[in-house]
Structure 1
Amino acid sequence: MIEISEIRWQEGGSFVDALLTPGSAYTMASLISGLEAEVVKISVADNHAVLKVWNRESKSDVGLQYYLLRILSAQGIAVSQPLGYGLDLEGNPVLLTPYDGQPLQKLNKSILSTLVRNLIEIHRFPISELKGLSLPQYDFVRYFFPLIEKHEDIKLLLEQLVPKVNMRQNCMIHGDYNLGNILYLNGKYSIIDWTNIQLGDSRYDAAWSILLMKVYAGERNGSTYQSLFMDEGAFAADDFELFEALACLRWILLSRIAPELSKGRGILTRARSILKNNPYLPEDLLA
């Protein structure tokens, strides 16, 4: 587990000061972590924070995340107010945020509606309000489809579909808005994991989120979630199936790279149902 004293802090406030005070008593406990980072909960008396340390393979711009979250939280967007950032001794990026609870365990239409509005607020946030921060822009296929050259069937479909959608890079997107990245505590929602922050297409960002909702939270929740995005005007009438196809292709690719993504009761059945009902995708992609 990381040593707090070894972090070279670039920015920090009272919580960081408390951690660095000689003789400070704090506890650390590991939280569920992904492939890209180690995540720990730090407690100082009754105050709690979360420290995320990216590994060498994941070159996250932690400074961008820190200043972005500071701006968004000040504007009332549902994100954590950052507490500090820096580098560990190996040069790995480190971000400290408040402990904002656990991922949502129960869903209903009201909660889903809140989740939809929170993402749309991000998409509609004026880029001019970022006060000089420059969001990165990436090639869509290269960024979202790693190792695509090894998967010719998906590559060929992408070559057919991407030119049809007139992909935009005109707004801020989260890049991985899913239930695991939405925390809830004492009536407050917090969107976490801004590793994929960039200028992109809100339609793809929403479609990816809808796909994950359908696959992991069930068809009923997914359909309600999709309808709520439609009600907010997130898609033109003929856009959704194209962007759903792109999102589905990404999920299939990632599940081939990391098979654990498709493990679990009903996951493959729901994914196959999406394939069956999308006119742009062959059913045998998950054969």
Structure 2
Amino acid sequence: MEPIIGQGTAGSGSMDGLIIDTTTQNFARDVLEVSRQVPVIVDFWAPWCGPCKQLTPILENAVKAARGAVRLVKMNIDEEPEVAQQLRVQSIPAVFAFKNGRPVDGFMGALPESQIKAFIARLVGDLGPSPAEELVAMGREAFEAGDLSRAAQAFAQAAQEEPGNPAAVAGLARCYIKAGDFDRAKQTLALVRPDARNDPEFTAAEAALSLAEKAADLGDIGELQARIEANPKDHQARFDLALALNARGDREGAVEQLLISIEYDRNWNEEAARKQLVEFFDAYGPKDEVTLSGRRRLSSILFS
């Protein structure tokens, strides 16, 4: 598969004015007046505030995804404390939403992306999927159909629409993993925005890359199966066979081999089979049927 990274990034011109910094002097103009035409979210923050550094990028991305339906105004309370004092802000980050010149909603503390999107939806209504979300959906459909080229193009376009989007980055990385280009998969994963490193799709793609790299130098499956038939307690052969089966797409078979190994000796090689099983579950995702059934069986073995 040809490299896709570096084919350009989305322009920022359409985002001009959506996100600005303000002062006490300009607050009425930037927030109160503008809020009579479009809802305005005000983010009160300070350079020393750790949670602010987590929240602000999420707010910015959510406002960009709203495609002009809402604005974001940021206010450094160390430099401009007066407005925050008038609003009786006790702690930061503190976020207020303004409509028609008045505060109508708000929250304090760093919230996850899903709750930020719900907060914006309360202000402006359901906006439907963003262009990036539509492209990610197209990419997933193409990937499931085995069309890696079309999937990669869709994921790459989604990443251009929303740089660092975890679903787009994860999808494109999986395309490279499937094509055996692990170096480009690593390069792609490095593009995720910092606040999204714990996103389930992103962590699943990281786990998938780790598994693919482990499986690259394994022996022949037939030889591994022969070793197990000769010695059912050959844990290394079962471990390698699980990786090989997973690389072929046989998730059930891969999980089964590790569960058998754990039943024989859960402490082998510092619990290597259990740890590898957890990595499988991370790669498959928490809602995958193999993950759900595998976790149930693992619990049954460990707590029997």
Specify which structure has the bigger relative contact order, considering alpha-carbon pairs within 8 angstroms and separated by 6 or more residues: 1
Structure ID, larger Rg: 2
Task: Judging by fraction of residues, say which structure has more helix.
Answer: 2
TM-score band, normalised by shorter chain: under 0.3
> With structure 2 as the length reference, what TM-score do the two structures score?
0.27
Task: Judging by fraction of residues, say which structure has more strand.
Answer: 1
> With structure 1 as the length reference, what TM-score do the two structures score?
0.28
